[in-house]
Amino acid sequence: DAGITQSPRHKVTETGTPVTLRCHQTENHRYMYWYRQDPGHGLRLIHYSYGVKDTDKGEVSDGYSVSRSKTEDFLLTLESATSSQTSVYFCAISESTDVYGYTFGSGTRLTVV
């Protein structure tokens, strides 16, 4: 979807290194989310943001931090990557009144070796 882009699309990194994933939107939506998708677990919320500099934890936030300094950008940082963080990461955006729920990005496949 042209309104939301994730970068990089693929990344391989070594255990113990910091990694930052970027989500960029052009829709001026208030809410932004980071999810991870793993087999047998579906979509699990890592962190979300309800405005610039306003963020909160989701159900699987340990080992992750986020920042949102501008409406359009939401960064997810793995402070020290571990193999258990190998996953596909999805960013999503929404407005609370949007009946279509979230718009998801295309995902970032992260492999920690």
Partner 1 sequence: DQQVKQNSPSLSVQEGRISILNCDYTNSMFDYFLWYKKYPAEGPTFLISISSIKDKNEDGRFTVFLNKSAKHLSLHIVPSQPGDSAVYFCAASSGGSNYKLTFGKGTLLTVNP
Q: Which residues bind partner 1 (CB under 8 A)?
A: 1, 31, 35, 40-44, 48, 50, 90, 92, 94, 96-107
Q: Which of residues 31 and 77 has its CB atom nearest to partner 1 in the complex?
A: 31
Q: What is the largest CA-CA distance in the chain?
A: 41
Please give the DSSP secondary-structure letter assigned to residue 105.
-
Query: How far apart are the C-alpha atoms of 100 and 1, rounded to whole Å?
Result: 14
Between residues 87 and 94, which has the closer beta carbon with respect to partner 1?
94
- Least distance from partner 1 to the Cβ atom of residue 79, Å: 25
Structure tokens belonging to residue 46? 């890592």
To partner 1, the closest distance from the beta carbon of 16 in angstroms equals 28
CA–CA gap between residue 18 and residue 81 (Å, rounded): 6
Q: Tell me the closest approach of the beta carbon of residue 80 to partner 1, in angstroms.
A: 27
